Structure 1
Amino acid sequence: MTENDGDAAPLAELMTATTELGAALRELIEVSVITTADAGEVAAAADLVRAATARIGDARRPVSQLPRLDDPSEGRRVFNPVTGIANPMAPPLVVRADGDGVVAEATLGLAYEGPPSFVHGGMSALFMDQMLGSAAGAAGLWGMTAHLELDYRGPLPLQTPLVLRARVESHEGRKAHISGTIALASAPEKILVEARGLFVMPRPEKQAAYFGAITDASGRHAPPRRPGDATALRPA
């Protein structure tokens, strides 16, 4: 973290608490779609969730303000919906450099279900968009998704280890062509989802239009230096 010494300890405590909340909510989301508890127990759980929401719900940031724990310049986005450790929507994926690209593993529960016992196809698109962006970031190419297409060659089973990969195929000027795949970790050579994307670095005037109102948690003007959303990579 880049905070000064006076802020480091409170922010470390906040990071721990926020990460624990994300993990607890992630577990709750999964349990909520697989529970066979009776209606009374489910209703009581809903009351507990509402009470927890009320406890922290009065202090909210506007959409134009970055969370205190984020630092987009370093690729730290703790609430990213794919890789964010504090976002209960995220598995989360841990993306790391691998050869000339990036790789991540995931085992998805029933919260991600589309066809019975299989992953929702839209989730594959979400994960591939993130992986392609991470591959761009790993190659030093920053941009935003301009085009994304997927071929679904077979369904992704739930509760089964998956491996996700992405690499930059070519780049020129502001444009980068990137590909990615999803397969079973036990059969990585058999591709089940294949993605191709075009990522484009916005022109300066577009960056200003998109991000000019962004501030940090203190309200200081802080447009991201990198317009993409690729997050920091773990060491290989």
Structure 2
Amino acid sequence: MNNETRVVDVDRGEAVFAPLTRSVQQLIDATIRTEVDEDTVVEARALIERATELLAAQQISGSFGVQPTTDGGTVAWGNVAIGLRNPVAPPLVLHDDADGSVYTDIDLGAAYEGPPGHVHGGVCALILDHMLGATAHQPGNPAFTGTLTVRYVRPTRLGRIHTEARVERHEGIKTFAVGHIADADGVVTVEAHGVFIRPGAR
């Protein structure tokens, strides 16, 4: 657990760390798909280990958590779905629609592969869990996943995908949300239904 909360300068963070994260994402992709010779791999590994030493020279303990920002907001840059500083995150950039739903369009490459040429089912579930959860959140009253039911309609090809989610209804502390993933052709590949708990709700 992160016990070193500090105030984050968002502009500086985006300028300094977003490019670093993109570089590591490119490294992950290159690591998966490279066909260079053994000597080149050894040379690259030495460079990576040196970069790790440089970055580890000063760091927080534990996870990044949720940090306050200088403009009065918060950031969760270590989050596996949306974290600006997490190279594993796609990351999801959510947009609000006029009808209250949320959506995002993202590109998933080799790092997210399950079946050959397709997105891993667990990655699809992760994305939908976050999307549905985002619709259930209310200012000052976060929602936590109670149940998530995922139906895999057909395989999701790697590449561009569209995801959207919306709230169906509220019942006391429970929010019921639905969503789906569609491929580049607009064909729905995964559907999800979730129940999210808002402890502060009445």
- CA gap of 1:69–1:139, structure 2 versus 1, over 3 A, is closer
Deviations 1:34-79 (A, max 9, x none): 11111221221111111111112132323376465769x8453222
Q: 1:131: which partner in 2? A: 131
Higher RCO (C-alpha 8 Å, min separation 6): 1
Aligned length: 193
Q: Which residue of 1 aligns with 2:62?
A: 63
3-state secondary structure, aligned to 1:18: helix
Task: Find out whether 1:154 has 2:154 as its counterpart.
Answer: yes
Give the share of equivalent positions with the same residue, in percent: 34
Offset of residue 178 of structure 1: 0.7
Matched residue type, 1:21: L
CA contact (8 A) 2:178 2:193 kept: yes
> Which residue is 2:113 aligned to?
113
> Within 5 Å, which residues of 2 pair with 1:42-191?
42-63=41-62, 66=65, 74=73, 76-98=75-97, 99-137=99-137, 142-159=142-159, 161-187=160-186, 190-191=187-188
SS of alignment partner, residue 127 of structure 2: helix
Match of 2:189 in 1: 192
Contact 2:68 2:74 in 1 (8 A): no
Q: Which has the higher strand share?
A: 2
SS at match of 1:89: coil
The one-letter amino acid of 1:33's match is I
**Consecutive unaligned residues in structure 1, runs of 5 or more:** 205-236
Q: Measure, in 2, the Cα distance between the counterparts of 1:104 and 1:144.
A: 20
Partners of 2:181 and 2:64 in 1: CA distance? 34
Q: What is the identity, as a one-letter code, of the residue corresponding to 1:145?
A: T
Report the CA distance shift for 1:178/1:74 in structure 2 as closer, same or farther (over 3 A).
farther
Contact 2:67-2:76 at 8 Å conserved across structures: no
Q: Which runs of 5+ in 2 are unaligned?
A: 1-6
Change (3 A) 1:175 1:75: farther
Q: What TM-score does the superposition give when structure 2 sets the normalisation length?
A: 0.85
CA distance in structure 2 between the aligned counterparts of 1:114 and 1:97, rounded to whole angstroms: 29
Q: Give the secondary structure class of the aligned counterpart of 1:30.
A: helix
Q: Write the mapping of 1:4-23 to structure 2, written as runs, cut at 5 A.
A: 12-23=11-22
Provide the TM-score with structure 1 as the length reference.
0.73
2-structure distance, mates of 1:18, 1:69: 17
Alpha-carbon RMSD: 2.6
